[in-house]
Amino acid sequence: SAGLKVRFATNTTKESQCFLWSRLQTLGFNIAVDEIFTSLTCARQLVVEQNLKPYLLLEESAMDDFNKWVDVNIDPEKANAVVVGLAPSKFHYEYLNTAFRILQKGASLVAIHKGRYYRRKDGMALGPGPFVTALEYSSDVKSVVVGKPEATFFAKAIQPFACEPDEVVMIGDDVRDDIGGAQAIGMTGMLVKTGKYRNGDENKIDPKPDFIFENVVNAIDSVIKATS
């Protein structure tokens, strides 16, 4: 109603875009599916553009974003890339060792993002970053990162707006991936003290967040007031 264009830009890789949209609808968010932009989308675009045959370390609920374009159950012997997202059910020795062996044969390593941690109902948990780093270290292959905080992710996220980065506000709870990445390309960063935020996070990036709010509602209210 404020006339502002909105896009939900997320590094969530446990769920496909449609799965996430359905869950948000259930929670009362009346949004269109194309108002959600995920790092899974970026990864799929890269895979298709480079004609990769990926071994996917993803949860089953995320496979929908790939199964129309690639063989999600590829024989590891035929894979020429490894794609890693947040996949707790796949982060154990046999899956990771299979990925390592594929990389040893010259395959590419695609990190949907390298988040260090995320918040679960039972507390903080390891993100995909530590596992991507382990594969990099063991295989001596540098990953290509496609999600936040990469500049290309933010540029693609705002592409439909046909505007400049300095006309965009990024609201998020991850000081590095959300705020640091957005501010690096010229967006205004608004850090909220909810979700995965931990006390003192605002001091972990330089420059510091442009604005800090107690919650998302306060941040949104501030944007509306500034543009009305």
Which of these three, 140, 162, 184, is where a domain ends?
Answer: 162
Same domain, 93 and 110: yes
- The total number of structural domains in the chain stands at 2
Residue 65 shares a structural domain with residue 174 = no
Dihedral sign for Cα atoms in the order 9, 40, 153, 12: positive
Give the sign of the dihedral formed by CA 119, CA 120, CA 122, CA 126: negative
- Final residue in a domain of this structure, among 146, 162, 178: 162
**pLDDT tens sequence across 201-212:** 999 999 999 999
14 lies in the same domain as 120: yes
Residue where a domain stops, chosen among 124, 144, 162? 162
Residues 136 and 123 in one domain: yes
- 173 and 155 in one domain? no
**55 and 113 share one domain:** yes
Q: Which helix H or strand E contains 46, and what residues bound it?
A: helix 39-49
Q: Confirm if 216 and 196 have CB atoms less than 8 A apart.
A: no
Residues 138-145: contacts with CB within 8 Å, 24+ apart? Answer: 138/100, 139/100, 139/103, 139/104, 139/109, 141/103, 141/107, 141/108, 141/109, 142/109, 143/84, 143/109, 143/110, 143/111, 143/114, 144/46, 144/108, 144/109, 144/110, 144/111, 145/111, 145/113, 145/114
Same domain? 67 vs 133: yes
User: What pLDDT tens digit does each residue of the chain (228 aa) get?
Assistant: 567 899 999 988 877 788 888 888 888 888 888 899 999 989 998 999 999 999 999 999 889 889 889 999 999 999 999 999 999 999 999 999 999 999 999 999 999 999 999 988 899 999 999 999 999 999 999 999 999 999 999 999 999 999 999 999 999 999 999 999 999 999 999 999 999 999 999 999 999 999 999 999 999 999 999 987
Query: What letters, b where the CB count within 10 A reaches 16 and e where it falls short, cover 67-77?
Result: eeebebebeee
Same domain? For 174 and 99 the reply is no
Give residue 68's domain range: 1-162
Q: pLDDT tens digits, residue range 127-159?
A: 999 999 999 999 999 999 999 999 999 999 999
Q: Report yes or no: 84 and 128 within 8 Å, Cβ to Cβ.
A: yes
Q: Do 89 and 24 fall within a single domain?
A: yes
Which CATH number do you get for residue 214? 3.40.50.1000
